[in-house]
Structure formats: structure tokens, C-alpha cells
Amino acid sequence: MKIQLNRIDFALPTKSFFIDYTVSQKRQLPVVKEFIIRILHSVGPSPVSLIQNYFGFTMSETQAVLDDLIEESLIKWSSEEIELTNHALENFEEVEGSMLPRFFEVVDKLDTVFFELSEFRMLPRSVQRSGLKSSSLSLPLPDDCYSNLNDKARSSFDSSFEHFREVVKGEDIYADREELYKINHVNSKFDVSIPIPVEFFIDTSAPHTIQSAYEDAALDEWDINKSLFKYMDSVLISESKLCNSISFHDYLTATDDPILIKYWDDMEGVLNTELLLSHFKDGLGNDSSKTQLIVGNLYTEHNSNAIIEKLKEVYDGKPNSNGMIWFTRAESRTWGRTKALGKLVESIYSLFDKRRKTSDSVLVMSCSSKPESYALKKIYRNVEAQLLDCEMTFGGENTEILLIPNVMVACLYHVTLNDERDLTLPVGYVSFAPELIESVTQNIKMWSGEEAVFNQYFENNTTDIKNTVLNKIYSPILFQELNRNK
């Protein structure tokens, strides 16, 4: 069973070029002209009267059509006979036992062509050209990928012209014969980075290996050798590894997880991921109908859809609670680097009663300086949520919690595997059980009042203390009480 763990949008550097080129393409002769050519090919040099009598033309009509054929260098007229030129004779070919004329003409064309810079391949029209978000991870390419670009574009266009026609322009190369005659000019146009969505998944048959694949089938077919993945892996390499034993107990203290504790081996200090994934596959890992085992980041397609579907049911009943607090893992370079994060936040936000002051969303993330806050603001600027910094997020570095007070709590523990990349196996639970929601909420309240250190790095220097995200949004959401009499 394949389980999606994470989604990342990579930014692939590309460049567009104006390419002015000339092609020779098939030219269909008018019926009368083609039949004159075919007659002359069959009988050889013939008197003009043969053509005139065959078609029943007047002398002036015959003269007009023959003049056109002479101008097009298809026939020549000597003495009283007409015959095909060498050019015409060379352009007959056998088609199903018959000799038919196949003529071509030279035509100038101009196109804008996009090339990715790693191997200078043309981008097919099926690959998205826009939609890049600030959260996308840029692919680091070698310096030589940015040199002699016009020459590379010319060479690639010349060697891949049929590919350009079929895959980039969507033309039928078999029905419309066309050959590249020459490339006249190549001019660079502009740089653009395009989004490359990639999914990272685990298979229950190989529970210790995180695999990757393009989410878009068109990309999968285009980069058939998966050459871009070496650049993706290079940007994800991480030397830091957290201790699962210490961090898991921090997670349990924060989340009161009733599910993962069953898979923890205290003697070995590890989570039995093989058994956990096997139970998840067979639907045996749930604690109750209201508290269920989840695998993968909350914004993955399966988890996101399941959360929104359940929340819609809850909000149809008009709960007396609003607002979301998400203790993120933004310190990881792979967390939330996808437009799917913003989509999930927006979907949850849309359910809130906007008349209440708690109808907002807060992403809490580790931040240690003003410069770091600027970088994080840029990454998550497209997410419809307020940002709040703290020195260490609730539950430790391997913990992630999404809380909608009195409605839902989702907790993830990020298991570190033997992988050089900054990728984890997120496992945990989502619960709509009031007692578990209340327990986690109380833990967060206690932490917020006694241990948390909020430095307000995301705030403007002129912001009044009562108007900060901490005091105006975070605290009202966290400390709202459920009025059961409403």
C-alpha cells in the first residue's frame, strides 16, 4: 500500500526564447494543376493541345494555368510541347502503387519556446507555466547551466524539432509533413521558474524507505529518466538528526497520544513503524471512531480531504467555537513547501463564523531573529494565516499540532528515518473526542503561560502590545470557552 507522506513544490529554473526559423512544408496543388502534373508525368512531353482538349479549356484558360505552373518551376515550355521540370520530377513519390506529386514550400515562422536549464529540454505544453508559490524550493543547478544559453537553445531546437512540433505545439507530425529548413535568429526573452510538484511516499512493503515521484503524469513522461531528482535530493540533504527517544516522550507529554504509545518500544527507544503501518493499512490502528490513526502530513491529499470532510459535518451543527492554532515544523526545509498547505488552511478558515473575533488562523513557528522572520514571512506569505514566533514550538522539534479548540485536534510525531534528506515519517492521530481535545488544549494553555517564549519577531516595531498576534488572536482562540447553553 502506498501512503503519501509529504508534498513539495520545487521551482525549476527555465528560460524562454524567441526562435525565428524557416520550415519547408507540404503544399497542396489545386486539382487542375495537380492533374496536369500527373498527366505529364505519365505521358511525358506533350503538345499544349493535349491539355486543352483533356480539360475542355479555351486557349486563354489553358495559357493562364500553364503560366502559373511555369512560374512555380513545375513545367517548362519548349517549341510546341510542355514537360515537367527536374524539380517537379524529383517530387513524385510512390503511394500505394501510384506515383503522386508531393511539393513543399518554404515558410518563415516565429515561436516562443521554453527550455529548462539543467539539460536544456523543451517544456511540453502540458507542463504548467505558472502558479509558482513563495513556498516552493528552488532547485540549485551548476553554474555551467547558465552559460551559452542562446547556443544551447539553437542546438536543442535543431535536434528536437519533431519533438517541438508534436509535444510542445501539439501538431500532428504525420498528417502535416514539415521539416526545419534553417534557424534564422535566437533571442533570449525572460527567466521564469515553474512549479514542479513532487510527492514523497512510503510503501507498507518497505516501511523504512521514503520514495519520491512526480504528482503530474505529464512530468513523469517528460523527465522519464528522473534526472531532476538528483537536484531535488541535493537541496533536501540534512546533517541534523533528532533523538527519537527523547523527542517521542516530549511528544507524548504534549499530546497524550492514545495510539502511538501502543507502538513505542521503550527498551529499544524506537517506534515500531512496521507494525504501525501494517495496522494502518488494515484499518486496525484507530483508538475509537472519534480518534483515528493518521500517517503523513496533514496537508497531504488523503489527510486534508478527510479532515475537511469531517469538519464540514461538525460545522453544519454550528459549534460555539472558532479559530485554529497550528504548531508547525517550519524549521524543517520540507514542511509546508507546497500550495497544498495554503489550500488546507483556507478550507478550514472558510468554515469559521466570521462574526466572531476568534475566526482566524495562527501558524506558530520557531524563529530566533528578525532576519529569520523576514525569510519565513516570504515563504508563507500566500497562506491565509497569522504568523507567531516562539523560541521552541510546543511539544518539541518533532511534534506538530493543529488545534481547533473544542472542535478538533490533530497531532503528529515526525519519526526520523535512515535518510540523508530532511524527510520524516509523520504519524499520529486526529481526534474529535471532547476529552482529548480538552486535554491537549490545557497542556498548551499551561505551556503558553509558564514555558513559552514569544519574541514578537513577526510584529512591526510600532505594533501596540494589545494588537500583537499573541494577544489579539492567539490567546482569544486558545482561551475561548465552550458555552454549552448557546
In this prediction, residue 241 has a pLDDT band, given cuts at 50, 70 and 90, of low
Q: For the chain, how many structural domains are there in total? A: 2
What's the CATH number where 346 sits?
A: 3.30.870
- pLDDT exceeds cutoff 80 at 25: no
The answer as to whether 207 is a domain residue is: no
**CATH code at 32?**
1.10.10.10
Q: Answer yes or no: is 163 within a domain.
A: no
The per-residue b/e assignment along 190-219, b for 16 or more CB within 10 angstroms, e otherwise, is eebebbbbbbbbbebeebeebebebbbeeb
Q: From residue 41, how far is each of 63, 103, 285 by CA, in Å?
A: 19, 14, 81
Pick the residue with more confidence: 379 or 28?
Answer: 379
List, for residues 307-343, the tens digit of each pLDDT value: 999 999 999 988 888 999 999 999 998 999 999 999 9
Residue 193 falls inside a structural domain: no
432 inside domain: yes
Kindly tell me if the per-residue pLDDT of 304 is higher than 50: yes
How far apart are alpha carbons 232 and 239 in whole angstroms? Answer: 16
212 assigned to some structural domain: no
Reported as a single tens digit per residue, the pLDDT across 338-397 is 999 999 999 999 999 988 889 999 999 999 999 999 999 999 999 999 999 999 999 998
Which pLDDT value is given to residue 132? 81
Q: What is the pLDDT of residue 188?
A: 94
466 in a structural domain: yes
- Does residue 219 sit within a domain? no
Final residue before a domain boundary, out of 83, 101, 119: 101
Indicate whether 486 pLDDT > 70: no
Q: Evaluate if residue 484 carries a pLDDT over 50.
A: no
37, 67, 101 — which closes off a domain? 101
Domain termination residue (choose one: 101, 129, 157): 101
103 pLDDT band, cuts 50/70/90, is confident
Q: Please give the pLDDT value at position 31.
A: 83
Alpha-carbon distance of 63 to 34, in angstroms, equals 16
Q: Stretch 207-212: mean pLDDT, rounded?
A: 92
In a domain, 123, yes or no: no
| Residue 258 pLDDT greater than 70, yes or no | yes
Whether residue 403 is predicted with pLDDT greater than 90 in this model: the reply is: yes
pLDDT band with cut points at 50, 70 and 90 for residue 177:
confident
Q: What is the pLDDT of residues 55-88, one digit of tens each?
A: 999 999 999 999 988 887 889 988 779 999 888 8
Rounded to the nearest integer, the mean pLDDT of the chain is: 91
Domain that holds residue 280: 244-478
The confidence band for 485, taking pLDDT boundaries of 50, 70 and 90, is very low
Q: 454 versus 106: which is more confidently predicted?
A: 454
Q: What is the pLDDT of residue 105?
A: 66
Percent of the chain with pLDDT over 70: 97
Task: Please give the pLDDT value at position 483.
Answer: 47
What's the rounded mean pLDDT across residues 196-221? Answer: 92
What proportion of the chain, given as a percentage, has pLDDT over 90?
70
